[in-house]
Structure 1
Amino acid sequence: MTETPAITASQTVGPFLHIGLPWEDGPFVVPSTVEGAFTITGTVYDGAGQPVPDALIETWQADPDGRFDHPDDPRGAAKSTVDGFRGFGRCPTGPDGTYRIVTVKPGALPAGGGAVEAPHLDVSVFARGLLDRVVTRLYFPDEEAANAADPVLVGLPDPSRAGTLVATAVEGGYRFDIRLQGEGETVFFDV
C-alpha cells in the first residue's frame, strides 16, 4: 500500500519575508544617536483584530528639509544634511505583531498646484494573504494645521477615516497601529 503524502498548507505569501528581506540596519532610517531621532512603534492587526506576526513594514520619507536623495525627486536629488539618513526603513513584525522604526521627522513636500503635503511617511505593508503590498501614510498629530491643508487627507472619500492615518504621540516617539481590515481599518491607497 502506498502512503499518500500530506498536503502542504497554501499561502499567498510564504515565510520568505522573515528569511530574506530583513537586515540588521533595516529599521534604522537614521542611527538612533542622531539628534532628533525618535521611534515609531505599532502593531499590525488582521480583520479579526488579531496581531499579524509575519508582516513586513517598509517606510519611505523625505528628510527634515523635505528633500529626497533620489533622481525621481522633481527638484533634483539632494543629499540630506542629517548624518546617516537613508529615507527608507524595513522591519518585520514580531510574534506579537509589533514593529519598530527609528527615524526623524520629515519636512513638508510641495504638491501640484502650489499645495503642500504635510510631513508624513509612506508606509507599505506586506503580509500573509496579500497578493501585493498595501500602501498607507503616517501623519503626525502635532502638525494639525499642515494636516488640515494636506491634499491627500482633505481628498479622502470618507473624511471621518482620516484619523486612521494620524499617529499617536507616545514617550520617545509615536505609535501607529495598522488594521488591515475590519472596524477601524487603516486607509490604504491605490498606487
Structure 2
Amino acid sequence: MAVRSARRERGSTRVDPRLLIGLALVAGSSLGVWALVEALDDTREVLVAPATLTPGTRVEAASLRVESVRLGALADGYLAPDDLPEGGLVVVRTVQAGELLPAASVADRERADLAVVVVTSSRPLPGEVAPGALVDVWTAAEVERGAFEPPVVLVPGAEVAAVAESDGMMSTGGPTVELLIPREKTAALLEALAAGDAVDLVPATGAVRD
C-alpha cells in the first residue's frame, strides 16, 4: 500500500498557487488596459458627402460615405448613419464634397419646400437671433438717398440656419444670416435684396423651431 501511495503522489501534478495568482494579475491588468483604451476612444461614425450636395437633393444612407472621426463635444452637430430615417432627408444647405454632414444641412419632407437665402442685416442682430431661431424679415424700399418707405414684413417666421459677423475693419455691412424661407417667398426677397432695400431681422413671437 505504501508503494502505491508513493507512486500516486509522484504521478500527480501540483500547481504552485503563486502561478495562479500571477496569471490572474496579468489577466486583470490586460482587462484594465482594454477598458481604459475603450473609455478614451471618443471616435464615432459620421456621414460624409461623397460629392457636393446642393439644396433640394434627397440623400439616403446608401448615397453617403461613412467615416470614423474624433469630434468630442461637436459630435452632436453631425449626422451618424442611424440618424437618417427611411426614405432619407432633403438637403437645405450646400454641403461640399468630403465634408461631414451637419444636422442643420438637411430636413425632412415637411421642410423640403424651403430655400436658403443669405441676407445682410442693416442693423446689429438681437441676441435671440441664432441658428434655429425664427425671425420676421422686414424690408423697406429706398425712395431716395437715405429716405425709405415704411418697413413691411416680407417673410414672416423665417428660420435662421447660420449667422456670420462681418469681418475686417473696413467692412461696412452688417451681420450676414442664412435663412430658410418658403420657396414662394424667394423671388420677392431676392428682388428686395437686388434693389438695395433695407433689411432687418426681428425675432418672431415665441420663437425657436423644434
What range describes the TM-score normalised by the shorter chain of this pair?
under 0.3
Q: How high is the TM-score relative to the length of structure 2? A: 0.24
- Structure with the larger strand share: 2
- Structure with the larger helix share: 2
Structure showing greater Rg: 2
